[in-house]
């Protein structure tokens, strides 16, 4: 993946190891960003090869044709499904264009997406196909309290994932990166140092406060976390890890963000909900929704969830307008 963040220039820098330069450039982007860039750029390169045209640099004509191909002809298959669909959603088309633009910038070429021709093409796709973003449904503590967690190692881990993810308003990437040595006791429960987040790409870090439950202590995030750490024997390194199957599961490496999605979908199914509408982001959406329903201000929710924009917070305050207007006419 790291080759995608290299510039075309091969001029050696005096006194600096070229490998250090490559590694430092690779570190400028988060792993998920690099994966998205690699996936979409590879798709563009393959398409260009099939058409016999240049991918780098690419003309506006080529990029316009590529976007139309993605929007109307590219075949895709949903995870765990054999059915294929033609044409990608607008958000996926936009991400592909982002990758093409980013790769051109890295190579020192002007991004094709800045041309009027490509902007017009994208606007046409948005008008034809719509640009509504699919939002995962919120999963709140009220849902989690319905679940009967098994007293197994996996049951303790999954319970801690769900309760901590909800209480800390964590993103998937944040949740799987948490470390045991970064957990501290506090007057209200615990606080966890978050080394990096989506809105903190420079790695300044921040403390996330997790309050112990006053009611329903059997669903306390602090207790659930301690029970998992004790049962797994984890006192250093990442908190949430994979488990082998069987009667005596072994603890593996860092849990993936996809595994968090699977855990949330399992929880939704246990609650009698449609798992297709839920995923890792449901915990974060659930936290913001739950706090909003209890009258907490958008400023407080933004601070707790590490949002930089109040506009983003307001998108999670679902149903608030209807509740506030109830009975006025």
> Could you list the residue range(s) of the whole structural domain that residue 39 is in?
2-129
- In angstroms, the CA 192 to CA 206 distance is 8
Among 129, 151, 170, residue at a domain's last position = 129
Q: Are residues 186 and 314 located together in one domain of the fold?
A: yes
Residue 120 and residue 268 in one domain: no
Q: Does pLDDT of 132 surpass 80?
A: no
Q: Is residue 62 part of a domain?
A: yes
Q: Is 213 within a domain?
A: yes
Mean pLDDT of 93-121: 96
Residue 136 lies in a domain: no
pLDDT confidence bin for 28, thresholds 50/70/90: low
Using pLDDT thresholds of 50, 70 and 90, give the confidence band for residue 135. Answer: confident
- The SS3 assignment for 215 reads coil
On average, the pLDDT of the chain sits at 87
Instruction: Tell me which of 25-34, 56-65, 178-187 is least confident.
Output: 25-34
Q: What is the pLDDT of residue 177?
A: 93
What is the per-residue pLDDT for 76?
Answer: 75
Q: Does residue 134 sit within a domain?
A: no
200 plus 249 within the same structural domain: yes
Q: How far are the Cα atoms of 3, 6, 15, 25 from residue 18, in angstroms, in the given order? A: 13, 11, 9, 11
Number of structural domains, the chain?
A: 2
300 in a structural domain? yes
d(CA 311, CA 294): 19
Going by pLDDT thresholds of 50, 70 and 90, the confidence category of residue 270 is very high
Q: Are residues 22 and 91 in the same domain?
A: yes
**pLDDT at site 309:** 81
Residue 11 shares a structural domain with residue 156: no
Encode pLDDT of 272-326 as tens digits: 999 999 999 999 999 999 998 888 888 999 999 988 888 878 777 665 666 666 6
On whether both 158 and 108 belong to a single domain, the answer is no
Same domain, 168 and 63: no
Q: CA-CA distance, 73 to 47, in Å (whole number)? A: 12
- In this structure, the answer to whether residues 34 and 169 fall within a common structural domain is no
State residue 29's pLDDT score. Answer: 57
Q: How far apart are CA 22 and CA 151, in angstroms?
A: 47
Cα distances (Å, whole numbers) of residue 318 to 138, 144, 267, 297: 9, 19, 21, 14
Of 251, 215, 238, 240, the closest CA to residue 161 belongs to: 240
Looking at the fold, whether 155 and 20 belong to one and the same domain comes out as no
Angle, CA 259 vertex, CA 34 and CA 151 arms, to 5°: 155
Position 135 in a domain: no
251 and 301 both lie in a single domain:
yes
Domain assignment present for 279: yes
183 and 310 assigned to the same domain: yes
Choice among 42-51, 70-79, 125-134, 198-207 with the minimum mean pLDDT: 198-207
Whether residue 246 has pLDDT greater than 70: yes
Pick from 129, 163, 179: which residue ends a domain?
129
Q: Are strands 251-254 and 241-243 parallel, antiparallel or unpaired?
A: antiparallel
- The CATH number of the domain where 122 resides is what? 1.10.150.130
Residues 67 and 162 reside in one and the same domain: no
- Does any domain span residue 74? yes
User: Which of 50-54, 79-83, 114-118 is predicted with the least confidence, judged by mean pLDDT?
Assistant: 79-83
Mean pLDDT across the stretch 122-145? 88
Position 129 scores a pLDDT of 87
Of 95, 129, 163, the one marking the end of a domain is 129
pLDDT, residue 3, reads 47
Query: Which CATH number fits the domain that encloses residue 268?
Result: 1.10.443.10
């Amino acid at each position: 993946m790291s080759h995608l963040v290299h510039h075309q220039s091969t001029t050696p820098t005096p006194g600096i190891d070229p490998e250090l330069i490559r590694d430092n450039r690779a570190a400028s982007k988060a792993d998920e960003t690099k994966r998205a860039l690699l996936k979409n750029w590879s798709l563009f390169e393959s398409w260009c090869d099939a058409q016999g045209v240049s991918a780098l640099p690419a003309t506006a004509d080529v990029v316009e044709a590529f976007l139309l191909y993605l929007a109307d002809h590219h075949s895709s298959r949903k995870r765990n499904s054999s059915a294929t669909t033609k044409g990608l959603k607008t958000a996926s088309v936009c991400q592909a264009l982002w990758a093409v633009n980013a790769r051109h910038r890295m190579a020192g070429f002007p991004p094709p997406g800045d041309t009027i021709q490509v902007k017009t093409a994208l606007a046409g796709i948005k008008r034809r196909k719509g640009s509504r973003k699919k939002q995962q449904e919120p999963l709140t503590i009220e849902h989690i309290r319905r679940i009967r967690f098994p007293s197994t190692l996996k049951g303790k881990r999954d319970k801690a994932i769900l309760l901590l993810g909800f209480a800390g308003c964590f993103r998937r990437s944040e949740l799987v990166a948490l470390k045991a040595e970064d957990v501290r006791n506090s007057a209200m429960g615990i606080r966890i140092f978050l080394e990096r987040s989506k809105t903190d790409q420079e790695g300044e870090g921040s403390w996330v406060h997790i309050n112990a439950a006053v009611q329903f202590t059997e669903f306390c995030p602090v207790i659930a976390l301690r029970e998992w750490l004790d049962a797994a024997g984890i006192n250093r390194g990442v908190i949430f890890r994979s488990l082998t199957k069987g009667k005596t599961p072994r603890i593996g490496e860092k849990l993936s963000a996809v595994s968090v999605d699977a855990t949330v979908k399992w929880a939704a199914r246990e609650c009698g909900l449609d798992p297709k509408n839920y995923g890792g982001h449901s915990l974060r959406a659930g936290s913001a929704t739950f706090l909003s329903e209890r009258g907490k201000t958008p400023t407080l929710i933004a601070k707790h969830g590490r949002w930089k924009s109040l506009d983003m917070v307001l998108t999670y305050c679902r149903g608030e307008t209807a509740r506030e207007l109830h009975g006025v006419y």
